[in-house]
A and B are shown apart, each in its own frame.
Chain A
């Protein structure tokens, strides 16, 4: 079983839709949770960073962590064609530094 599971999609939505991207994980010791956005032919870039459970909002993006269910989500409101990318979740333990990444979900927002 992989440490981090992520539905690869692809996910296709109309412009303006609310998008929900999700990851599940097996290691209850994960404490830090990240979302990266990766445009085609580019490296990943950090989008959101959260610690432990709860919600974090940044503009149109909301990251949600449910540690009891070992489930994290990224919500994108009022999605735009420029949001079309692959979204990777990542997480790490409280001790040590290594990140564990999901395989990524490919999102296309159709104008």
Chain B
């Protein structure tokens, strides 16, 4: 167990809908990272937050947004969902914002029908 928690574990929704994925980092970790993992694209970095501020941005679509709250938990919002958004979404955290020290959560499996 990495200490990173993600909810929900599974999410099934329809095209056009909006969902929110939640991540609680390990105790003491200030940085949160979001990834999307699909069979054809592999693990794709979406966005990183450090102590509430956006630190780095990857291949995140405009329909997606994220934030990190004062208690350091983070939410990833996915809107106008498309079939191609079906994937595993992972959150990772690290203490000082160093990628080398990331610990991954168990993921949220999103299915868009």
Residues on A close to B: CB < 8 A? 6, 32, 34, 41-46, 49, 88, 90, 92, 97-99, 101-104
Contacts and interface: CB of A to CB of B under 8 A. Distances in A.
Given A98-B45, A99-B99, A104-B42, A43 B92 contact: yes
Given A43-B4, A43-B90, A97-B99, A103 B45 contact: no
A44 B99 contact: no
A103 B41 contact: yes
B52 interface: no
A86 B98 CA distance: 24
Interface string B76-100: 0000000000000010100001111
A102 B40 CA distance: 10
Interface residues of B, number: 24
A102 B42 contact: yes
B100 A49 contact: yes
Contacts of B92: 43
A39 to B, nearest CB: 10
A102 B43 CA distance: 7
Contacts of A34: 100
Nearest to B109: A41
20 contacts: A34-B100, A41-B106, A41-B107, A42-B106, A43-B92, A43-B106, A44-B90, A45-B2, A49-B100, A90-B43, A92-B99, A97-B48, A98-B99, A101-B42, A101-B44, A101-B45, A102-B42, A103-B39, A103-B41, A103-B43
